[in-house]
Amino acid sequence: MASDDRASQLVQQLLTNPTVRIKDTKATTEKLSTILQDGRPNLHFICDFDMTMSRYYTRNKDTGALQRNPSCHGVPSLYSKMDPKFKITTDNLLNTYYPIEIHKEMTREQKLPYMIEWWQKAHAAMSAQKITRDDIRGMAEETPVELRPGIDTVLELCYTRALPFLVFSAGIGNIIDEILKEHKLMFPNMHIVSNMMKFDEQGVCVDFEEPLIHVFNKSEFQLENTPYYKTIKDRANVILIGDSEGDLQMSQGVKHNLCLNIGFCNHDCEALEPKYTEKFDIVIMGDADFNPVIDILECLG
């Protein structure tokens, strides 16, 4: 079957999923047709971590009530060995800066200095705790981050089909690495670009590596500077997966001919759906699973 027909059928299949929205079916079909025609050797993935690979909500084990899934910046404050003052500090930072991050009237440019300030203060507070590599492993074990259903299948399919998979996060790369290892989902085809801790000779975190990666500057990171680049430099097509408008920048540091953007709209769905369907080719509503991405991978063969 021709790639155009396969892509058209795939889009119709995706739209039978009640969580999927596709505003421009023609453009999305064309992108999928190219991806299917060019095949696996010309494709790679770029994916955000917090609230993309991980869920937005989890259920409280005792009450069953919905609660926020910890982000990888939130995991350290839940760790039993951390100074209680650290949690107070990070909670205050979240309460101060998160409303700015999601403020509907502020522009990206207006938010930028606040985001840099937030990340710098969070990293300084963490460095002051003298965290070790053993502590990071302890955090991943002690504070389970619930991964989004289906991400295990996506990562396994990408590994078995030799599709490079980049985890691109404004979180903490060392924690992401341990979380994925805890779930046995860190495969050789994967690479993490994130904020990485800097350790001294005693294995104690004393700072964070440059450059600082925050929610609004993912376009500035050039993958050409990483060893991962040689695995993707000849792959013209990329599937980008994220949960925020800032994540759309993740592919800008990579040369590519085509980018299929898939967005998870986790919350405030009624208000955010028009914006998400305008920005992303495919939108998955309501903190749902990775099944639409699995459908694409299975069609790719």
At position 188, the amino acid (one-letter code) is P
Give the domain CATH number at 120: 1.10.150.340
Give the pLDDT of the chain (301 residues) as one tens digit per residue.
788 999 999 999 999 999 999 999 999 999 999 999 999 999 999 999 999 999 999 988 888 898 999 999 999 999 999 999 999 999 999 999 999 998 889 998 999 999 999 999 999 999 999 999 999 999 999 988 999 999 999 999 999 999 999 999 999 999 999 999 999 999 999 999 999 999 999 999 999 998 899 888 877 676 777 788 889 999 999 999 999 988 998 888 788 999 999 999 999 999 999 999 999 999 999 999 999 999 999 999 8
Q: How far apart are CA 74 and CA 54, in angstroms?
A: 13
Q: Which of 101, 121, 142 is the last residue of a domain?
A: 142
Do 155 and 187 belong together in one domain?
yes
| Structure tokens belonging to residue 160 | 């078995």
Do 123 and 156 belong together in one domain?
no
Q: How confident is the model at residue 301, as a pLDDT?
A: 82
CB-CB neighbours of 169 under 10 Å: 28
Q: Flag whether 133 is in a domain.
A: yes
Q: How confident is the model at residue 95, as a pLDDT?
A: 94
DSSP letter (8 states) at residue 132: B
Q: Flag whether 97 is in a domain.
A: yes
At position 44, the amino acid (one-letter code) is H
Give the domain CATH number at 262: 3.40.50.1000
Do 126 and 154 belong together in one domain?
no
- Contact (CB, 8 A) for 201 and 130: no
Q: How confident is the model at residue 220, as a pLDDT?
A: 62
Active site members: 48, 50
Q: Which of 91, 120, 142 is the last residue of a domain?
A: 142
**Helix ranges, the chain (H):** 3-15, 25-38, 84-101, 108-127, 133-142, 151-160, 173-182, 269-279, 291-300
Q: What's the pTM value of the predicted model, to 2 decimals?
A: 0.94
Q: How far apart are CA 89 and CA 295, in angstroms?
A: 43
Those residues whose C-beta lies under 8 Å from the C-beta of residue 148, and which sit 6 or more positions away, are: 52, 53, 54, 55, 264, 287, 289, 290
Taking alpha carbons only, the member of 23, 51, 108, 30 closest to residue 283 is 23
Q: Flag whether 221 is in a domain.
A: yes
Q: Flag whether 14 is in a domain.
A: yes
Do 51 and 195 belong together in one domain?
yes
Do 27 and 81 belong together in one domain?
no
Q: Flag whether 268 is in a domain.
A: yes
Do 76 and 212 belong together in one domain?
no
Q: How far apart are CA 221 and CA 219, in angstroms?
A: 6
Q: How confident is the model at residue 297, as a pLDDT?
A: 98
Do 183 and 296 belong together in one domain?
yes
Do 182 and 291 belong together in one domain?
yes
Do 212 and 278 belong together in one domain?
yes
Domain count, the chain: 2
For 184, left (φ over 0), alpha (ψ -120 to 50), or beta?
A: left
The residue assigned the tokens 């986790």 is: 266
Do 158 and 19 belong together in one domain?
yes
Do 49 and 191 belong together in one domain?
yes
Q: Flag whether 227 is in a domain.
A: yes
Q: Flag whether 229 is in a domain.
A: yes
Instruction: Give Dmax over CA atoms of the chain in angstroms.
Output: 62
Provide the residue range defining the domain that includes 138.
Answer: 71-142
Q: Flag whether 63 is in a domain.
A: no
Q: Which of 142, 164, 182 is the last residue of a domain?
A: 142
Q: How far apart are CA 126 and CA 110, in angstroms?
A: 26
Do 29 and 121 belong together in one domain?
no
| Bridge pairing between strands 258-265 and 66-68 | unpaired
CB-CB neighbours of 266 under 10 Å: 21
